[in-house]
Amino acid sequence: MAGEPFPISPVLTGISLAYSNGAYIADNVMPRLPPHDKSVYLYHLFGFDQLITVPDTAVGRKSAPNEVEFKAQELTSQTKRYGLDDPVPLTDSRDAPDGYDPVDFAVTGLTELILLDREVRVASIVQSASSYAASQVETLTGSDKWSDPTSDPLGQIADALDAPPLRPNVMTLGAREWSVLRRHPALVSAINRSSGDKGRVTRREAAELIEVDRIEVGQAWVNANRPGQPPQRVRVWGGHASLTYQAANIGSKRIVTWGWTAQTKAPGSNSARFAGSKLDDKIGMYGGTRVRVGEEVEERVVAPDLGYLIREVL
C-alpha cells in the first residue's frame, strides 16, 4: 500500500554493510560518527585563537585566579538521504543459475554505487579550497610542481604541516599524484640514501619521512558522463594533496578534528545504511522484487583551520 514504510531486511542490510571496495578512502578521510536517532543534529565550530591567547595568570595573595571561558559556535545541520532502487523481475530469480541470487547481487551493486557517490562527495570536499582557511591553500606553478624533478616536495609539505594550529597527521592525494611523489628524487634519495635517480618508496616510508600517521591514496574511477552518454572515465581523486588533522577515536561531534561524517539510523535499525526489498506487481510480466539500498549521512568540515591544501601538484 502507498504510504507504507519500505521494509528493511536485516539479511540484505548485512550484505550491504559487509560489502566494501578497497579503492575507496572516504571513510578513512572523513570518518563516520556513531549514528544518531534523528536527522537534525547539533555540532560545534571552535575558535582556536582562544587557545593561543594568554590571559593574565598571576594570582594575588588573597585574590582569585582570573576566569576564562572556552566558547564554541553551536550550529544545526541535517543529514541527507541517498538511495537507489533496482527492480528485479520474478523471471530473473526463477531462471537464475544455482548459487546466484539476483536480489543479493542487486544489493551489492546498489551498495557499490552508493559508496562511489559518497567517495565523489568526500573527494570534492577534501579537494576544495573552501574547506580550508584561506591562508592555508597553496597552488603550485612551474618548477614547483612535483612532476618537475628539481622541485622540493619535502620542503613544501614540511612548511604546510607547520601552518595549522594543530599539526596535520593525515595526507590525502590521488593515485597519479602518489605515483609521481613516491618516485621523486627528493624522497628516493632521502629514504634510500641514493642519488635519487631511480627507485620508489612505500607509503609507510614516506609517512615516516614527512612525519604523518598515514598517507591515504584515492584510487577510484568514475564515469564523468550521465547514463546514456558515451563513458568518460576520470579519477575521483586528482590534482591536489591535502594535509588534515584527524583526532584519534572520533566518537563525538564535539571532538576537535578537521572533519567527520554524521549518520542517522534507518528506522528500526542501528545503522545508517539499510537494504530492503518488497514485491512489486509493476515489474515485468509476473511482477518482481524492488530492491533498495540507502543511507542517511552528511559530510562536514568543522575545523577548516586544521588542514592545508596544496593544489595543482602535477
Average pLDDT of the chain, as a whole number = 91
Of 208, 171, 145, the closest CA to residue 309 belongs to: 171
Tens of pLDDT, residue by residue over 55-101, are: 777 888 888 888 776 666 788 999 999 999 999 999 998 998 988 99
What integer is the mean pLDDT of 279-286? 92
Return the axis-axis angle of helices 185-192 and 153-162, rounded to nearest 10°. Answer: 90
N-term to C-term CA, the chain: 56
Residue 208's pLDDT is what? 96
If one looks up domain 10-54+67-311 in CATH, what number appears?
3.90.1690.10
Q: 51 falls in which pLDDT band (50, 70, 90)?
A: low
Query: Is the alpha carbon torsion for 116, 294, 304, 203 positive or negative?
Result: negative
Of 75, 35, 86, the closest CA to residue 251 belongs to: 35
Residue 61's pLDDT is what? 83
Q: What are phi and psi of 219, to 5 degrees?
A: -115, 0
What pairs with residue 72 in β-bridges? 46
Q: How far apart are the C-alpha atoms of 110 and 9, rounded to whole Å? A: 15
- Local structure of 145: helix, strand or coil: coil
| Predicted model pTM | 0.89
Of 242, 20, 256, 35, the closest CA to residue 123 belongs to: 242
Helix H, strand E, coil C: the string for 235-283 is: ECCCCCEEEECCCCCCCCCCCCCCEEEEEECCCCCCCCEEEEEEEECCC
Tens of pLDDT, residue by residue over 224-256, are: 888 888 989 999 999 999 999 999 877 766 678
Query: Is the alpha carbon torsion for 94, 96, 100, 103 positive or negative?
Result: negative
**Amino acid code (one letter) for 13:** T
Residue 271's pLDDT is what? 92
Q: 258 falls in which pLDDT band (50, 70, 90)?
A: very high
Cell numbers describing residue 285: 510480466
Q: Does 287 or 48 have the greater pLDDT score? A: 287
Of 311, 2, 271, the closest CA to residue 141 belongs to: 311
What integer is the mean pLDDT of 276-303? 94
Q: 1 falls in which pLDDT band (50, 70, 90)?
A: very low
Percent of the chain with pLDDT over 70: 94
- Check: CB of residue 33 under 8 Å from CB of residue 250: yes
Alpha-helix runs per DSSP H in the chain? 10-18, 26-29, 90-95, 102-126, 153-162, 175-182, 185-192, 203-210
Tens of pLDDT, residue by residue over 130-152, are: 999 999 999 999 999 999 999 99
- Local structure of 224: helix, strand or coil: coil
